[in-house]
């Protein structure tokens, strides 16, 4: 824990401890994300950060509202209720208070929501990385198993490697359960398989547990799984390339040909109508094209396999 997390836990730790049952999903996400922060400390940090962000945002937005006199920019047209005219003299104060209250609630809520979602995002990224590196990690441990290295030492060696990403991290936790907590290999595999975010890794570890319990050949099991996951990896890569081709065609249609047609059409309409401010043309150029391109980049990035 850093100093800020210690301060947050000191201020809000007792309240966070009472919320363990209310945030069971968050506790599970923290474990699967392998974040080295206890649940109570993380939730306390989320509470304190949300309060600080809300206070700062309310002060800043309140100052902006007061200094720019934003409530005074609002003009009433037609008949208005009598009480509106009465409170109009205090519109600046009322508007500043409302702006501060709304910004406090909105920014505080968004900040807390980000803290709640962040561990699941990390766990999702770990899942993708494990699925991408697992076939290569299994090839590595198959070679060691063929050489006659004991299973516990195999996972220990895999965990010490830096080439296999999050698959090595899971193996490191297996080795830690054995070396630090004194568990046997089956219990360590059971524990990590229950907390890993990857279904592939979970299936692999559970199969290894079954082989060890039944006295079957782990080497043959590792070799079979290596072939299976390598085949699945090639199939997923081919599917991704096919999907990427479809997305590229959609991008050309939606973000190149479509906007070009709309720009030409709006330019002609602006000339015919002698409009000096073609608003729709500005929206296409400055909003539709850049934000649409960003969305395609985010889509491709989220679909791209790790490794």
Average pLDDT, the chain: 86
pLDDT attached to residue 269: 80
* pTM confidence score: 0.75
pLDDT tens track for 103-117: 999 999 999 999 999
For the cut 90, the answer to whether the pLDDT of residue 147 exceeds it is no
| Same structural domain, 139 and 103 | no
Which of 142-156, 170-184, 185-199, 227-241 shows the lowest per-residue confidence on average (mean pLDDT)? Answer: 227-241
> Cβ neighbours of residue 259 under 8 Å, at least 6 residues apart?
284, 288, 289, 292
Is 166 exposed, middle or buried, given 0-12, 13-18 or 19+ CB atoms closer than 10 A?
A: buried
| Same structural domain, 276 and 202 | no
| Same structural domain, 214 and 226 | yes
Q: Which of 125, 146, 177 is the last residue of a domain?
A: 125
Neighbours of 201 (CB within 10 A): 23
Q: Which of 102, 125, 148 is the last residue of a domain?
A: 125
pLDDT attached to residue 212: 87
pLDDT attached to residue 172: 93
Q: Which of 230, 247, 269 is the last residue of a domain?
A: 230
| Integer Cα distance of 69 and 71 in angstroms | 6
Asked if residue 2 lies in contact with residue 9, where contact means CB atoms within 8 angstroms, the answer is: no
pLDDT tens track for 173-223: 999 999 988 888 999 999 999 999 999 999 999 999 988 888 888 889 999
Secondary structure of 239-266 in HEC code, one letter for each residue: HHHHHHHHHHHHHHHHHHHHHHHHHHHH
| Same structural domain, 61 and 151 | no
> Cβ neighbours of residue 129 under 8 Å, at least 6 residues apart?
165, 166, 167, 306, 307
| Same structural domain, 175 and 283 | no
pLDDT tens track for 35-48: 888 999 999 999 99
| Same structural domain, 162 and 241 | no
**How many domains does the chain divide into?**
3
85: pLDDT confidence band, cut at 50, 70 and 90? Answer: low
- Highest mean pLDDT: which range of 64-73, 222-231, 268-277: 222-231
| Same structural domain, 18 and 120 | yes
| Same structural domain, 140 and 207 | yes
Which of 53-57, 225-229, 303-307 shows the lowest per-residue confidence on average (mean pLDDT)? Answer: 303-307
Which alpha helices (H) appear in the chain, and where do they start and end? 3-17, 24-32, 39-67, 82-87, 91-146, 151-160, 165-179, 185-195, 199-214, 218-251, 258-273, 279-283, 289-303
**Look-up: residue for tokens 């999702």?**
124
Mean pLDDT of 39-62: 93
| Integer Cα distance of 132 and 136 in angstroms | 8
pLDDT attached to residue 84: 55
For the cut 80, the answer to whether the pLDDT of residue 231 exceeds it is yes
pLDDT attached to residue 255: 86
**Residue 223 belongs to domain spanning:** 127-230
Selected residue with higher pLDDT from 98 and 83: 98
- Highest mean pLDDT: which range of 94-98, 134-138, 238-242: 134-138
pLDDT tens track for 266-291: 888 877 777 666 778 788 888 888 89
| Same structural domain, 27 and 91 | yes
Q: What is the rounded end-to-end Cα distance, in angstroms, of the chain? A: 30
DSSP 8-class letter at 306: P
| Integer Cα distance of 167 and 134 in angstroms | 6
82: pLDDT confidence band, cut at 50, 70 and 90? Answer: low
Q: To the nearest whole percent, how much of the chain has pLDDT over 90?
A: 33
pLDDT attached to residue 272: 78
Asked if residue 41 lies in contact with residue 1, where contact means CB atoms within 8 angstroms, the answer is: yes
76: pLDDT confidence band, cut at 50, 70 and 90? Answer: low
pLDDT tens track for 3-36: 888 888 898 888 888 888 888 899 999 999 998 8
| Same structural domain, 47 and 142 | no
| Same structural domain, 204 and 279 | no
| Integer Cα distance of 164 and 176 in angstroms | 17
94: pLDDT confidence band, cut at 50, 70 and 90? Answer: confident
pLDDT attached to residue 176: 92
| Same structural domain, 187 and 237 | no
Q: To the nearest whole percent, how much of the chain has pLDDT over 70?
A: 91
């Amino acid at each position: 824990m850093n100093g800020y997390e210690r301060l947050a836990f000191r201020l809000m730790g007792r309240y966070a401890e009472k919320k363990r049952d209310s945030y069971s999903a968050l506790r599970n996400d923290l474990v699967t994300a392998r974040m080295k922060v206890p649940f109570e400390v993380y939730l306390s940090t989320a509470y304190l950060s949300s309060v600080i962000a809300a206070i700062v945002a309310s002060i800043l937005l309140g100052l902006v509202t007061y200094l720019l006199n934003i409530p005074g920019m609002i003009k009433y047209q037609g008949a208005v209720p009598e009480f509106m005219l009465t409170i109009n003299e205090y519109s600046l104060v009322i508007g500043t208070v409302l702006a501060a209250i709304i910004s406090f609630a909105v920014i505080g809520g968004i900040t807390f929501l980000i803290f709640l979602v962040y561990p699941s995002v990390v766990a999702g990224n770990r899942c993708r990385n494990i699925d991408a590196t697992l076939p290569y990690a299994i090839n590595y441990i198959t070679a060691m198993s063929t050489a006659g290295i004991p299973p516990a030492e195999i996972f220990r060696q895999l965990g010490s490697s830096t080439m296999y990403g999050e698959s090595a991290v899971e193996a490191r936790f297996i080795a830690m359960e054995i070396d630090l907590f004194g568990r046997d290999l089956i219990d360590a595999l059971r524990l990590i398989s229950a907390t890993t975010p990857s279904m592939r890794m979970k299936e692999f570890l559970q199969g290894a547990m079954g082989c060890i319990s039944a006295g079957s050949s782990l080497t043959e099991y590792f070799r079979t799984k290596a072939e299976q996951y390598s085949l699945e990896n090639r199939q997923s890569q081919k599917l991704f390339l096919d999907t990427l081709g479809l997305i590229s065609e959609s991008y050309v249609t939606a973000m190149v040909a479509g906007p070009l047609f709309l720009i030409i059409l709006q330019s002609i309409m602006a000339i015919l109508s002698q409009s000096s401010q073609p608003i729709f043309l500005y929206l296409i150029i400055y909003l539709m094209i850049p934000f649409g391109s960003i969305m395609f980049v985010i889509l491709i990035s989220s679909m791209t396999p790790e490794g």
